[in-house]
Amino acid sequence: MNTSNNKLAVFWDLDDTLYDHLVPFREAVREVLQPDESMLNYADLFYKVRYHSDLLWPQYLRGELALEETRVLRLELAFAEYGLKLNREQAAKVQASYIGRQYSIEMIEGVAEQLKRFISLGHKVGIITNGPQEHQMNKLRGLGIDKLIPEEMIFISDAVGLAKPDPAIFAHVNKVTGTTAEQSIYVGDTWDNDVVGALAAGWRVIWYNPRGRQPGTDHQPSYIFTNYREFSELPII
């Protein structure tokens, strides 16, 4: 993918790509439920939470579900699928603890260096993320990413009115930023939202897969990496 003679547009997912989303979730579950951890794989449980969140999000965007109902319901569905009992009160407490911890987060090791590398080389660098606008911006501020990337290069689904995996959000980003799909790259961790969505828009995709998930379809990302040391060695530029 060497395009050294051309400037790229490199956009990044936020949750579980720039910071480890699992950490605040795990701590929230521990605080509220005090589970038997010998019977619990937090990574698998959290994967189910994100899966149900992605399924419910279009209903939220259409106004069919309130935001808090969406958040609590995804927990109830995920825990039930995992075989754990979680009543509505417990789900609400886990959600409140989880949200409260999401603004005290740190970038995954090596992320900042890679963002700065692309910026220093003159490539356009931005964020495309699903979620409520202020909530996602608070995370970006907590990480200090708002000091690296200008607001006009940050695209949040609730503010745009489009959400991944709809390829329209990627087309919207190209239109607003004056970039083209052919020169655009998306870096993300979620197969359906990030890989499938961006490829459908004609973008190239670099899949961040630190936990060894299996592809959900036969789509082909340009590269796969498990940590940012590997990412730094990819022949992207």
- List pLDDT tens digits, range 29-57: 999 999 988 889 999 999 999 999 989 98
Q: How far apart are CA 59 and CA 57, in angstroms?
A: 5
Sequence-distant (6+) residues with CB within 8 A of 50 are 16, 21, 190
Residue 151, Cβ density class (10 Å: 0-12 exposed, 13-18 middle, ≥19 buried): exposed
Mean pLDDT of 16-25: 94
Q: What is the pLDDT of residues 141-186, one digit of tens each?
A: 999 999 999 999 999 999 999 999 999 999 999 999 999 999 999 9
Residue 196 has pLDDT above 50, yes or no: yes
pTM as predicted: 0.87
Q: What is the pLDDT of residues 128-151, one digit of tens each?
A: 999 999 999 999 999 999 999 999
Q: Integer distance in angstroms from the first to the last C-alpha of the chain?
A: 7
Q: Which strand (E) or helix (H) includes residue 11?
A: strand 9-12
Q: Which of 42-51, 94-103, 195-204 has the highest mean pLDDT?
A: 195-204
Residue 3 has pLDDT above 50, yes or no: no
Q: How far apart are CA 137 and CA 184, in angstroms?
A: 23
Residue where the block lists tokens 């937090």 = 42
Tell me what pLDDT residue 2 has: 47
pLDDT tier for residue 4 given thresholds of 50, 70 and 90: very low
Sequence-distant (6+) residues with CB within 8 A of 13 are 127, 128, 129, 186, 187, 188, 189, 190, 193, 194, 208
Greater model confidence, 125 or 3: 125
Sequence-distant (6+) residues with CB within 8 A of 69 are none
Tell me what pLDDT residue 36 has: 87
Sequence-distant (6+) residues with CB within 8 A of 64 are none
